[in-house]
Amino acid sequence: MLAALREQVRGPVLVPGDEAYDAERNGFQTAWRHRPAVAVGATGAADVQAAVAYAAALALPVAVQATGHGLSVPADGGLLIGTRRMTGVTVDPGARTAWIEAGARWDQVLRATTPYGLAPLNGSAPHTGAVGYTLGGGLGLLARAYGYAADHVRALDVVTPDGRLRHVTADSEPDLFWALRGGRDNFGVVTGMRVGLVPVDRLYGGGLFFPADQAVDVLEAFRSWTATVPETMTASVGMIPFPDVPGVPEPMRGRHITHVRIAHLGDAAEGERLVAPLRAAGTPLRDTIAELPYAEGGSIYGDPAQPHGYSGSNLLLRDLDDRAVRTVHELAGPGAPVPCVVDLRHLGGALARTPGVPNAVGYRDARFILRVLSPLTGAGLDAVRAAHRRVFDAMEPWSAGGRSLNFIYGDGTADQVREAYEPADHRRLAELKAGYDPANLFRLNHNIPPAEATASLRRG
Ligand SMILES: Cc1cc2nc3c(=O)[nH]c(=O)nc-3n(C[C@H](O)[C@H](O)[C@H](O)COP(=O)(O)OP(=O)(O)OC[C@H]3O[C@@H](n4cnc5c(N)ncnc54)[C@H](O)[C@@H]3O)c2cc1C
């Protein structure tokens, strides 16, 4: 059967021991790695269809990987479909849309759209995959102005577990269209998506870097400042223990830094006026906020671009007060038992509004998201998990009840994945999963198990 698959697929079909096997399975996350029985490097939808049909025939569970930034459950003995060869991006400037193939990274999308003065709703890191990010919600640089990236999807091509390639829109398959935008890889492999673009070519953005002894003042100033800003302002504050290694720029190298990130849609004069209270919250060691082309928005967060091992999760918060801010600082700041990278993002604005065509992204009334992540160098996974649990347990009084799927890194627990959806949405997703994937072929992921009763009803 493997020989037949090799005949059918234009890209490589690799098994353990093949020379190119490691290059095919490895990705950005290095703490977990896929070890599939078969790895297929897909070059297009036909390759994906052949791979899914092969996996279904052998009852091999399927995993999908574009970049590996969001690896959850590693394929151990299953079939891995790699999409990184599928990088086409076609822009329709008149319609303000782009067709984005499964493996395109945001930097590749930005290169195609920004010459037209148009922007996708990409996130902080240009090296993440556009499709995986969008299917998980997609909380971007312009989130408060335009909502989730998933809200701007117009059409999806997807190979479902039955091997069919479907063109899915709000009209053609409304349930599947709803489920894919938030349900991510539970319903098949998306081979391409059409997304709406927004007319943005410049931003007022960048970062303020404060020393550790000003962290509490800055966090508190940020919290109260968020109540005053318009939707054109999307901002966050982080705490980062920068390692003392070559490549980390001074003055951050080896220091615990409180990092305010700003992305404002508007001119520099208005941006300066809005940011003034944050600049005055302490004495920044570095201030990089200025007008910049949207294509350079990746510099605002400056996420590390080198593959590494990390574990982390998040909690959506209905609100924050000074006690909450102090709790985060105490448990995840400079005194944390393991090095923690904290990211507290301001939500609301357009994120709070249900899009014209609703999707499975929930908890829209959350006002903040708290993310905590730790590199898995030095500290072991158990210690990291225990430290993160302490933070999230302590923040429970401020919880909005849910989490963001995109920011559950590593093999998140079943409870965490369930909490990424509102209860009624999770039930609807499980029922749809029972219809589209009754055998749970797509289970090497943040899994939504098929609703059993419905599954047996439909099977019977
Ligand atoms: C440094 C960094 C910065 C980030 N910044 C942001 C941010 O600002 N906002 C935000 O919302 N998220 C952010 N994320 C999270 C990121 O969006 C998710 O991890 C996303 O899933 C990554 O997608 P990927 O394709 O790059 O990764 P992969 O690990 O290749 O894929 C991640 C998941 O998406 C699924 N998937 C990928 N392609 C497809 C497909 N074609 N069809 C079906 N399923 C697919 C995979 O099965 C997998 O479960 C960040 C992550 C990192 C590591």
DSSP 5-23: HHHH-SS-EE-TT-TTHHH
**Average pLDDT over every residue of 320-343:** 97
Q: What is the tens place of the pLDDT at every residue in 382-411?
A: 999 999 999 999 999 999 999 999 999 976
Q: Residues 109, 113, 114, 120: is their CA dihedral positive or negative?
A: negative
* 2-82: CATH, from 3.30.43.10, 3.20.20.70, 3.90.650.10, 3.40.50.1820: 3.30.43.10
Ligand 1 touching residue 101 (CB < 6 A): no
Ligand 1 touching residue 203 (CB < 6 A): no
For residue 363, pLDDT over 80 is answered with: yes
Ligand 1 touching residue 68 (CB < 6 A): yes
Q: Residue with the nearest Cα to atom 2 of ligand 1?
A: 125
Ligand 1 touching residue 282 (CB < 6 A): no
Angle at CA of residue 202, ends 292 and 297, nearest 5°: 55
Distance of CA 167 from the midpoint of ligand 1 (Å): 22
**Average pLDDT over every residue of 258-274:** 97
Tell me what the pLDDT averaged over the chain comes to: 96
Distance of CA 321 from the midpoint of ligand 1 (Å): 31
Mutate to test the pocket of ligand 1, among 81, 127, 128, 443 (most ligand atoms within 8 A of CB): 128
* CATH hierarchy code of domain 89-196: 3.30.465.10
Distance of CA 263 from the midpoint of ligand 1 (Å): 21
Contact 312, 372 (CB under 8 A): yes
Distance of CA 22 from the midpoint of ligand 1 (Å): 20
Q: Residue with the nearest Cα to atom 6 of ligand 1?
A: 123
Around 231, how many Cα atoms within 13 Å sit in the side-chain half-sphere? 11
d(CA 424, CA 431): 11
Helix 423-436, helix 452-459: angle, nearest 10: 30
Q: How confident is the model at residue 247 (pLDDT cuts 50, 70, 90)?
A: confident
pLDDT (0 to 100) of residue 330: 98
For residue 122, pLDDT over 70 is answered with: yes
> In the chain, pLDDT over 90 holds for what percent of residues?
93
Q: How confident is the model at residue 453 (pLDDT cuts 50, 70, 90)?
A: low
pLDDT (0 to 100) of residue 459: 45
> b vs e for 298-323, b when ≥16 Cβ sit within 10 Å of the residue's Cβ?
bebbbeeeeeebbbbbbbbbeebeee
**CATH class in words for 202-418:** alpha beta
Q: Where are the domains of the chain?
A: 2-82, 89-196, 202-418, 424-459
Task: Annotate 255-302 with DSSP letters as a single string.
Answer: SEEEEEEEEESS-HHHHHHHHHHHHTTS--SEE--EEEEGGGTHHHH-
Q: Residue with the nearest Cα to atom 45 of ligand 1?
A: 132
Task: Flag the least confident range among 98-112, 113-127, 345-359, 405-419.
Answer: 405-419
Ligand 1 touching residue 287 (CB < 6 A): no
d(CA 208, CA 226): 16
The atom number, within ligand 1, closest to the CA of 105 reads: 26
pLDDT (0 to 100) of residue 460: 41
**Average pLDDT over every residue of 129-147:** 98
Ligand 1 touching residue 34 (CB < 6 A): no
**Average pLDDT over every residue of 160-178:** 98
For residue 412, pLDDT over 70 is answered with: no
The atom number, within ligand 1, closest to the CA of 83 reads: 41
47 by Cβ neighbours in 10 Å (0-12 / 13-18 / 19+) ranks as buried
Q: Residue with the nearest Cα to atom 32 of ligand 1?
A: 70
**Average pLDDT over every residue of 251-260:** 96
Mutate to test the pocket of ligand 1, among 24, 133, 411 (most ligand atoms within 8 A of CB): 133
Higher pLDDT, 369 or 377: 369
Q: What is the tens place of the pLDDT at every residue in 300-309?
A: 999 999 999 9
**Average pLDDT over every residue of 414-442:** 96
The atom number, within ligand 1, closest to the CA of 102 reads: 41
**Average pLDDT over every residue of 370-378:** 92
Main-chain phi, psi angles of 148, to 5 degrees: -75, 150
Q: What is the tens place of the pLDDT at every residue in 35-84?
A: 999 999 999 999 999 999 999 999 999 999 999 999 999 999 999 999 99
Ligand 1 touching residue 106 (CB < 6 A): no
Q: Residue 355 — left, alpha, or beta (φ > 0 → left; ψ -120 to 50 → alpha)? A: beta
For residue 456, pLDDT over 60 is answered with: no
d(CA 108, CA 93): 16
d(CA 223, CA 357): 32
Ligand 1 touching residue 67 (CB < 6 A): yes
Q: How confident is the model at residue 165 (pLDDT cuts 50, 70, 90)?
A: very high
